[in-house]
Amino acid sequence: MYKVKIDGIETEVNPGTTILSVANQEFVEIPTLCYNENVEPRGACRMCTVEVEVWGRKRLVTACNYPIQADIVIDTQSERVKKLRRLILEVLLARTPDSPRIKELAEKYGVKQPRFNLEKTHDNCIVCGLCVQACKDIVGVSAIGLSERGIFRKPITPYEESSHTCIGCGSCVYICPTDAISMVDKDGKRYFERWKTEFKLVGCESCGTHFATDVQIEYFKKVMGKDDPSLHFCPNCLVLKETKK
Ligand code: SF4
């Protein structure tokens, strides 16, 4: 076990525990954007940066992917941290001025008007890559990727055309921290404007509610190696069926 002091709170943790886990455990708030417990943390957005002191040496690290490997003192509110946090938010606010999530964080951390005059994008995407990571690591289809470099970098489908590998599950929509991907279910179809992709929706055999795309069901059949009865019912009816057993 290692001794940890986080914002003055003392505790002990197992080797490899991340700073963010300790913070959550001790109810110390560290802002995050690209962190999601279902995918490998990469510290891409840098929002969770904190200051640590190990072996008498201080430095800034990202809390989500920093494994504790020695006794450590963590400061989530040091002047260096606050300055960097505000700088990151200034850049994000300058780039995505319409994003409610970025505006909310900017206000919370005292950023009003960004000093930078950067190329703006009005689609709320902060290019954190979480949607790309989820599509690859959770769904396993890699239907999207990050394009180009610098200010033109953005998540796209191959050649920015309708993707042949996308199953229309919507994982990218649910995981995006800034609601930058829209998914519309209407008239038996599901449409993703950002991916220029449309799917046919499948109805639950019990209540008729549309609950998945036809491509998604076929994909799950392939992954499970069979036409499982669970693939014919919406989550609600599935729970009802299970409780009646
Ligand atoms: S669409 Fe959302 S999840 Fe994907 S890169 Fe942009 S902000 Fe991140």
Q: What pLDDT digit, counting tens, does each position of 12-67 carry?
A: 999 999 999 999 999 999 999 999 999 999 999 999 999 999 999 999 999 999 99
Ligand 1 closest atom vs CA 154: 5
pLDDT at 94: 93
Report which ligand 1 atom has the smallest distance to the Cα of 144: 4
The rounded distance, in Å, linking the Cα atoms of 233 and 134 is 24
Q: Sheet with 197-203: list strands edge to edge.
A: 184-186, 189-192, 197-203, 210-213
200-232 pLDDT, tens digit each: 999 999 999 999 999 999 999 999 999 988 899
Q: What does R_g of the chain's alpha carbons equal in angstroms?
A: 21
| Ligand 1 pocket at CB < 6 A | 125-131, 155, 176, 178, 180-181
Pocket test for ligand 1, best of 96, 181, 183, 192 (most atoms within 8 A of CB): 181
Mean pLDDT of 177-186: 96
pTM of the model: 0.90
Identify the residue whose C-alpha is closest to ligand 1 atom 4: 131
* Per-residue pLDDT tens digits for 52-76: 999 999 999 999 999 999 999 999 9
**Domains along the chain?**
2-77 (3.10.20.740), 130-244 (no CATH)
Neighbours of 123 (CB within 10 A): 15
The total of other beta-carbon atoms located within 10 Å of residue 225's CB is: 7
Which residue lies with its CA nearest to atom 2 of ligand 1? 176
Helices first, then strands: H and E counts in the chain = 7, 11
pLDDT digits over 146-158, tens only? 997 777 789 999 9
Reported confidence tier of residue 145, pLDDT bands at 50, 70, 90 = very high
Q: How many angstroms does the Cα of residue 124 sit away from the middle of ligand 1?
A: 8
Given a contact cutoff of 8 angstroms between Cβ atoms, the answer to whether 100 and 47 are in contact is no
Q: What percent of the chain has pLDDT over 90?
A: 85
Centre of ligand 1 to C-alpha 178, Å, is 7
Per-residue pLDDT at 118: 81
